[in-house]
Amino acid sequence: AQSVAQPEDQVNVAEGNPLTVKCTYSVSGNPYLFWYVQYPNRGLQFLLKYITGDNLVKGSYGFEAEFNKSQTSFHLKKPSALVSDSALYFCAVRDMGGTNAGKSTFGDGTTLTVKP
Amino acid sequence: DTGVSQNPRHKITKRGQNVTFRCDPISEHNRLYWYRQTLGQGPEFLTYFQNEAQLEKSRLLSDRFSAERPKGSFSTLEIQRTEQGDSAMYLCASSLGHGGSYNEQFFGPGTRLTVL
């Protein structure tokens, strides 16, 4: 079985400050991990992914995420938040060794609000 | 625009009616996914196709739900005898992958179903 937890429903930061959106996961094998962003009235957009290799992955719009196997976490970060980063963020996981060839599991989302 | 498209964008129906949604994936993508998303939740996996083969169905997908991808291109999701609990956003996504690889998904804008 695979699962994802996003412990914070809401994250508020001031523009220019660093931001972190938290994600923890559970899989029986090794994980594929993804972050997606959803703007109002728009579809989910891919931000970044971890498959293997360097634990720090960089993605679109200046976002990055750090894979931590011991803590089973994949927190999303950005050094300096912009008001335009305000959106709904989803973490997703798939077990590399899973028999479910297609299924990925999404968290319930974290609403990020960046205030000017 | 060569992204994933979904039609209709909105559907209002009466309980007990049948509805059908269409998804046109990115043309070179061989994998296609259907998800359901309700307010405050992340996307829930419904089913997955690789080319024309439906390789997995979620237990969420009752026998009132059926999906097809007849020529490995567009896909349809039909809900028979709709119930008020079927009201949700239905998302389609596509990706490119072979063998055990698993890549990011590109999402369509969704079809919002309201069952009265």
At A78-93, the pLDDT tens digits run 999 999 999 999 999 9
Q: Give pLDDT tens digits for A14-73.
A: 999 999 999 999 988 888 999 999 998 788 999 999 988 899 999 999 999 999 999 999
Which tokens go with B104?
């990011």
pLDDT tens, position by position, B43-76 = 999 998 999 999 888 887 889 999 999 988 999 9
B chain contacts of residue A94, beta-carbon cutoff 8 Å:
102
- Closest C-alpha to B19, from B29, B33, B6: B6
* Distance from C-alpha of A42 to C-alpha of A59, rounded to nearest angstrom: 19
For residue B65, give every residue at least 6 positions away whose Cβ sits within 8 Å of its Cβ, in sequence order, or none: B46, B77, B78, B79, B80
Residues in A whose CB is inside 8 Å of some CB of B read 4, 32, 34, 36, 42-46, 49, 51, 90, 92, 94, 96, 100-109
Helix or strand holding residue B65 (H, E):
strand B65-68
Q: What is the rounded distance in angstroms from the CA atom of residue A50 to the CA atom of residue A89? A: 16
The two structure tokens encoding residue A22: 């938290």
pLDDT in tens, B8-23: 999 999 999 999 999 9
* Interface residue of B26, B31, B102 to substitute, partner A, most A CBs within 10 Å: B102
Q: How confident is the model at residue A103 (pLDDT cuts 50, 70, 90)?
A: confident
Closest CB to B42: pick one of A51, A94, A106.
A106
Total residues belonging to chain B: 116
